[in-house]
Chain A
Amino acid sequence: MRRGLMAWDPAEVPASALADRRARLRAELAREGVDVFVAYTNIARGGAVWWLTGFTPYWNEGLLYAPADGEMIFATALSKRVAEWIISVMPAGEVTTTPRPAALIGERIAVDGAKRIGILELDDFPAGHAQAILQAAPGVELVDVTQAFARARNACDAVEHLLLTKADALAQAACAAVDVAQIEARAFIAPAESVARLGGAEECFTLVACDLGASRAFVRTESMGALGQTYAARVSLAYKGAWTRHVRSFAKAAPVQDQFNQAHAALMAFAPQPGEALGAAVARAFGPFGTVVNWGAEQPRGSYPLAPVANLAGSAQGFTASAPFVLDVEMEIGGRRWIGARIIGL
């Protein structure tokens, strides 16, 4: 659940910026001939509703209804008292609490007379909610508008840029705060969590690849053991809803740590040249330090705060070169595995 700082600062997220985003979405939906828009949100899939309202539910779930005109409605099964809190931290939209949010939105759709209902990620939309909408608004057509949303979301505006910059600074500070003197991975990573949340992170996931010589899998504290000769910290965090990741590798042997530091410096300086393909840029930047084994890029996609959009295998599912992205690089350096990740393009 979200349990870090959740607050709305109008200087960081002006309501006008959210109005601009909604206008962009409205234009894209009009091109699709869709009357209204509905998006689902919960703590794992809060990206789209956050982009439109500045809010992610800390728990439970919700539905955002954007009519053709007028105020958006955020419907949730959270209590009326929680709704009072949501209003204080959500810059855009009205809040309605009801045990059956989808039925309420269906009733509103029926009142508005909408016929073509644009649903973000229709395939992944909870079936129970879809059924409730169809029951409350018989005869409507549910239309997948994931691509229209992606076109509207394509650019990173100044507000998101600012939040990501703060998130990146927190993630870097968290990764720098790990305690390399520790033997156990839990004790190694715990200070990172503290630094991230003291800095105002809304959410923070701290994972460790405990022994890079054995596995590159990053695990949670429940399954962490002792640190190996080489290991890595992975911090994924949200600042006011904007997500980033930072990964840093460590070695117990000083000469290996020096090599790792050089690779990390390359990551921190990474910047594709104009027109340069991402894979070529990775090879150019990291080639001098070892062999690139794998790389991947993540960006916000639909309701997902971060999702894979490009990788070494050539897959590119909606990668936007002009927007910031999290680059994850895995290398062999002197026969040892090194992993690094950070946000690029800020």
Chain B
Amino acid sequence: MSKDALAARRRALKDAMMREEVEILVLFGNNWHADHLRYATDFGIQEGQGVALVREDGSITLILDDPAECERARAYSTCETIFAPALVAEAKKQLARAGNHNIAAAPYHLLPYGLLHGDKDLRVSDGAKIVERLLMNKMEVEIDAVRKAAALADEGYAIFRNAARPGRKDYELVAEMESFFRAKGVPENFMIVGVGGQEVRGMAPPGGKILKAGDMVTTELTPCYDGYYAQICRTLIVGEPSEAQHQAFAVYLEAMEAGIASVKAGVTAAHVAKAENDVFRKYGLGDYVTSEYTRVRGHGMGLFPDQKPAILEDVQITLEAGMTLIVHPNTYHPAVGYLVLGDSLVVRDGGHELLCGTPRELFSVPLQ
């Protein structure tokens, strides 16, 4: 990302540390949870683990336990970068050198055990309060990156539709997507798929299923730009959709549009989830908005593809202008199977800014 954007992020982090009277912030990350580390360092970790020590004077030390990752970080990062096969030992050494400071860490529960325990236990507090709001509430420069990621998601779904045809295996569709995204400069993409009919209860990585006539093919595509993710969820039918598939899709479309229409700064995540779920309840499908059949009705996105707030009827987090979300009433439908539909957006005062441009259709691909 641009130097100015990274500088703005670091200023925000420094201000948050000052407010919480934290002198050193320890940020931990790996390829699963790369967001905290990336916020401060702009390094998207791929292999091994990393720790960033962010000091109150603004200086940052990045410690990585993989030598190639360390070389990659040094190639473009502005942080002091240290290769340390014994990550915990090096981080402790650096912290000991700093003296007896107020230290916070995030994500706290993932922090290595050895960093907190040993010959001399470190007193480290949970740094969630410092980092979580920054990850959720984005600056315009961050929103612009999410916007670009959403455009890539739209482009990607067009590739996906063209790739889906009878006789192809599910992982072959993923191969086309990934090749397309690499050519576009996208290093990471969260993507799961579902192929089949009424028996399909969710999405997962591909298992080698062969697409056949009548199959519903569901996917979540989640490419990133400058580390920021945006998601799109769509369903297509191999061949012409059946009447049951059309009828089911109409419920999901109404639910998604109700959810999106309810989004504005000041409402809760629960409010959006209720707007979506009420549509299912209206059609007698209330059972299918429970955890038995669905995980969430949408979620935040940013440097992590599935960040807070989860869009659920029991989540009372208030949406604020600048949050980026996907609203997706994805769930199992008893007549046709697991069906997905979702668009990314930005929460704005009084409403939202839609980021996805792919038509909200139940797509079909020809049998020949």
Q: Interface of A with B (CB < 8 Å)?
A: 1-7, 42-45, 58-61, 79-82, 84-85, 88-89, 122-130, 142, 186-187, 189-191, 193-194, 196-198, 200, 202, 204-207, 215-224, 234, 236, 296, 304, 306-308, 317
Say whether B295 faces chain A, with CB atoms less than 8 Å apart: yes
- Give 12 A-B contacts (CB < 8 Å), ordered by A residue: A3-B174, A3-B205, A45-B49, A79-B295, A124-B113, A126-B111, A127-B112, A130-B113, A207-B72, A221-B181, A222-B186, A236-B47
Question: Which A residues are CB-close (under 8 A) to B74?
Answer: 217
Asked if A222 contacts B185 (CB within 8 A), the reply is yes
Question: Which B residues are CB-close (under 8 A) to A84?
Answer: 201-202
- Other-chain residue from B32, B114, B174, B182 in contact with A124 (beta carbon distance below 8 A): B114
- Given A81-B202, A186-B182, A128-B292 contact (CB < 8 Å): no
Say whether B350 faces chain A, with CB atoms less than 8 Å apart: no
Taking CB as reference atom, which chain A residue is nearest B206?
A5
Dominant SS at the B interface? Answer: mixed
Q: Looking at the assembled complex, report how far the CB atom of B84 sits from the nearest CB atom of chain A, in whole angstroms.
A: 12
Asked if B182 contacts A216 (CB within 8 A), the reply is no
Asked if B113 contacts A218 (CB within 8 A), the reply is no
Question: Which B residues are CB-close (under 8 A) to A4?
Answer: 171, 174-175, 205-206
**Please, how many angstroms separate the alpha-carbon atoms of A215 and B187 in the complex?**
20
| B35-48 interface code vs A (CB 8 A; 1 in, 0 out) | 00000000011111
Asked if B205 contacts A122 (CB within 8 A), the reply is no
- Other-chain residue from A88, A186, A196 in contact with B185 (beta carbon distance below 8 A): A186
- Other-chain residue from B75, B116, B292 in contact with A127 (beta carbon distance below 8 A): B116
Segment 192-235 of B: residues with Cβ below 8 Å from A: 192, 201-202, 204-208, 226-227
Asked if A45 contacts B185 (CB within 8 A), the reply is no
Q: Looking at the assembled complex, report how far the CB atom of B39 sits from the nearest CB atom of chain A, in whole angstroms.
A: 16
Taking CB as reference atom, which chain A residue is nearest B33?
A42
Taking CB as reference atom, which chain B residue is nearest A189?
B182
The 10 lowest CB-CB distance pairs between A and B, nearest first, are A128-B109, A123-B114, A197-B175, A194-B179, A217-B75, A190-B183, A220-B187, A44-B30, A81-B202, A5-B171
Question: Which A residues are CB-close (under 8 A) to B201?
Answer: 81, 84
Asked if B111 contacts A128 (CB within 8 A), the reply is yes
Say whether B191 faces chain A, with CB atoms less than 8 Å apart: yes
Taking CB as reference atom, which chain A residue is nearest B179?
A194
Asked if A6 contacts B206 (CB within 8 A), the reply is yes
Q: Interface of B with A (CB < 8 Å)?
A: 30-32, 44-49, 66-68, 71-72, 74-76, 85, 87-89, 108-117, 171-172, 174-176, 178-192, 201-202, 204-208, 226-227, 291-293, 295
Q: Looking at the assembled complex, report how far the CB atom of A187 sits from the nearest CB atom of chain B, in whole angstroms.
A: 6
**Please, how many angstroms separate the alpha-carbon atoms of A126 and B108 in the complex?**
9
Asked if A206 contacts B182 (CB within 8 A), the reply is yes
Most B-side CB within 10 Å, residue of A1, A84, A215, A219 = A1
Asked if A125 contacts B189 (CB within 8 A), the reply is no
Asked if B31 contacts A80 (CB within 8 A), the reply is no
Asked if B291 contacts A222 (CB within 8 A), the reply is no
Question: Which B residues are CB-close (under 8 A) to A61?
Answer: 32
Q: Looking at the assembled complex, report how far the CB atom of A9 sits from the nearest CB atom of chain B, in whole angstroms.
A: 9
Q: Looking at the assembled complex, report how far the CB atom of B79 sits from the nearest CB atom of chain A, in whole angstroms.
A: 15
Asked if B182 contacts A125 (CB within 8 A), the reply is no
Question: Which B residues are CB-close (under 8 A) to A236?
Answer: 47
Question: Which A residues are CB-close (under 8 A) to B176?
Answer: 194
Asked if B109 contacts A219 (CB within 8 A), the reply is no
**Please, how many angstroms separate the alpha-carbon atoms of A284 and B218 in the complex?**
54
Asked if A220 contacts B72 (CB within 8 A), the reply is yes
**Please, how many angstroms separate the alpha-carbon atoms of A129 and B85 in the complex?**
23
- Other-chain residue from B31, B184, B190, B206 in contact with A44 (beta carbon distance below 8 A): B31
- Given A85-B202, A221-B186, A44-B75 contact (CB < 8 Å): no
Question: Which B residues are CB-close (under 8 A) to A88?
Answer: 207
Asked if A217 contacts B32 (CB within 8 A), the reply is no
Q: Looking at the assembled complex, report how far the CB atom of A143 sits from the nearest CB atom of chain B, in whole angstroms.
A: 12
Asked if A79 contacts B113 (CB within 8 A), the reply is no
Asked if B113 contacts A123 (CB within 8 A), the reply is yes
Asked if B185 contacts A221 (CB within 8 A), the reply is yes
Q: Looking at the assembled complex, report how far the CB atom of B167 sits from the nearest CB atom of chain A, in whole angstroms.
A: 14
Most A-side CB within 10 Å, residue of B66, B68, B115, B226 = B68
Asked if B115 contacts A127 (CB within 8 A), the reply is yes
Asked if A222 contacts B226 (CB within 8 A), the reply is yes
Question: Which B residues are CB-close (under 8 A) to A44?
Answer: 30-32, 45, 47-49
Asked if B187 contacts A218 (CB within 8 A), the reply is no
Question: Which A residues are CB-close (under 8 A) to B183?
Answer: 186-187, 190, 221
Asked if A3 contacts B76 (CB within 8 A), the reply is no
Q: Looking at the assembled complex, report how far the CB atom of B10 sits from the nearest CB atom of chain A, in whole angstroms.
A: 19
Please name 18 further chain A to chain B contacts, defined as beta carbons within 8 Å, in addition to the given A127-B112, A198-B172, A307-B85, sorted by A numbering.
A6-B204, A44-B32, A44-B47, A79-B295, A124-B112, A126-B109, A186-B182, A191-B179, A193-B179, A194-B175, A194-B176, A197-B171, A197-B172, A202-B205, A220-B44, A220-B187, A222-B187, A236-B47
- Other-chain residue from B47, B85, B188, B227 in contact with A317 (beta carbon distance below 8 A): B85
Question: Which A residues are CB-close (under 8 A) to B189?
Answer: 3
